[in-house]
Amino acid sequence: MPCVSPDGSVTESAKRVLLAAVEEKSAEEIAKAAGLPLFRVRGSVRELVDAGLIESRNGTYRTTEQGKVKIV
Amino acid sequence: MENEEKEIKMPLLGDKAPDFEAQTSQGSLKLEDFRGSWLVMFSHPADFTPVCTTEFMAFAQLYEEFQKRNCELLGLSVDSTSSHIAWARNIEEKTGVKIPFPIIADGNKEVAMKYGMLHPGQSKTETIRATFLIDPEGVLRLILYYPLTTGRNMQEILRCIDALQTADKHHVATPANWKKGDKVVVPPPLDQESAEARMKEGYECIDWYLCKKELKE
């Protein structure tokens, strides 16, 4: 069950990840802020990076402008 | 015709757990996503079957105990993600027990083959009840194989996590039927001089090679 559907919609947990990563954070920090297990955040950010909704930089993550649109 | 039987790989204790990337009921996950945590990875024969349902309920009911030990749970069967989702929803609807951990949908048996979860003498199509305890560095530390007819004892799995974490932290071993709080086994001396000294070191000894001590946490 991917966190990004083929129609571009995202799951509630993916929205929590996107919201947590509006300010650049590590996966551990996102897990804490989003209240999600770390393994799940690692899996989600991988999918969200592939979908262009989060960008990865030196082990940290930040929600892209395209990703911010999905939060609401 | 070429021999069509695929080689069944059996991972061994002390090996790095085989890598995988798989679809689960909580999205796509890799083994490396669990690094830094202990992991109980376990297979079951099929969704919507009686023994498996009791096992999933038992794992779910002890989920907090696993979490207290920095341990995640990851189920697996050859059923689809949709089946896993439907089964988890059915368990919650019928029993009130929520399944909080992900379940791998291993339809092509790729992960099952890597971990030796298919035992043709038991079933040619379903995974057996295999349990792998993987440490935070990704090393296989304990393997349990149970047949299709016998549900696992989750308290035993918790006990094994306690034993391994205690062994790692205190460099000791744990005796038969040990449980957290019991005395632990002091590693036996490796030379004659140490053996002679051992009996005077204040441990509870049956003889120089079997001594126990209380642990100070």
According to the model, what pLDDT value does residue B199 have? Answer: 87
Is B205 tagged catalytic?
no
In this structure, whether the domain defined by B171-213 belongs to CATH 3.30.1020.10 is answered with: yes
Residues of A in contact with B32 (CB under 8 A): 42
* Shortest Cα–Cα distance, B18 to chain A (Å): 17
- For residues B163-168, average pLDDT: 98
CB of B168 closer than 8 Å to CB of B39: no
Q: Express each pLDDT in A1-51 by its tens digit.
A: 567 777 778 999 999 999 999 999 999 999 999 999 999 999 999 999 999
Residues of B in contact with A40 (CB under 8 A): 26-27, 29, 33, 102
Which of the residues B52, B71, B160, B205 is marked catalytic?
B52
**Of B99, B75, B96, nearest in space to B86 by CA:** B99
User: Which of B23, B26, B41, B74 is the best residue to mutate to test the A interface, defined by the most A CB atoms within 10 Å of its own CB?
Assistant: B26
According to the model, what pLDDT value does residue B148 have? Answer: 94
State the pLDDT confidence band at B1, using cuts at 50, 70 and 90: very low
What CATH number belongs to A12-71?
1.10.10.10
Q: What is the DSSP string of chain B?
A: ----PPPPP---TTSBPPP-EEEEBTEEEEGGGGTTSEEEEEE-S-TT-HHHHHHHHHHHHTHHHHHHTTEEEEEEESS-HHHHHHHHHHHHHHH-----S-EEE-TT-HHHHHHT---TTT-SSS--EEEEEE-TTSBEEEEEEE-TT----HHHHHHHHHHHHHHHHHS-B--TT--TTS-EEPPPPSSHHHHHHHTTSS-EEEETTEEEE----
- For residues B20-39, average pLDDT: 97
According to the model, what pLDDT value does residue A4 have? Answer: 77
All CATH 3.40.30.10 domain ranges in chain B, comma separated: 21-152
Residues in chain A: 72
pLDDT at B192 over 60: yes
Q: Give me the residue spans of the domains in chain A.
A: 12-71
State the pLDDT confidence band at B7, using cuts at 50, 70 and 90: low
Nearest-by-CA chain A residue for B32: A39
Q: Express each pLDDT in B123-153 by its tens digit.
A: 999 999 999 999 999 999 999 999 999 999 9
pLDDT at B5 over 80: no
Interface ipTM: 0.89
Residues in chain B: 217
According to the model, what pLDDT value does residue B217 have? Answer: 67
pTM of the model: 0.92
Q: How far apart are CA B58 and CA A63, in angstroms?
A: 38
All CATH 3.30.1020.10 domain ranges in chain B, comma separated: 171-213
In this structure, whether the domain defined by B21-152 belongs to CATH 3.40.50.1980 is answered with: no
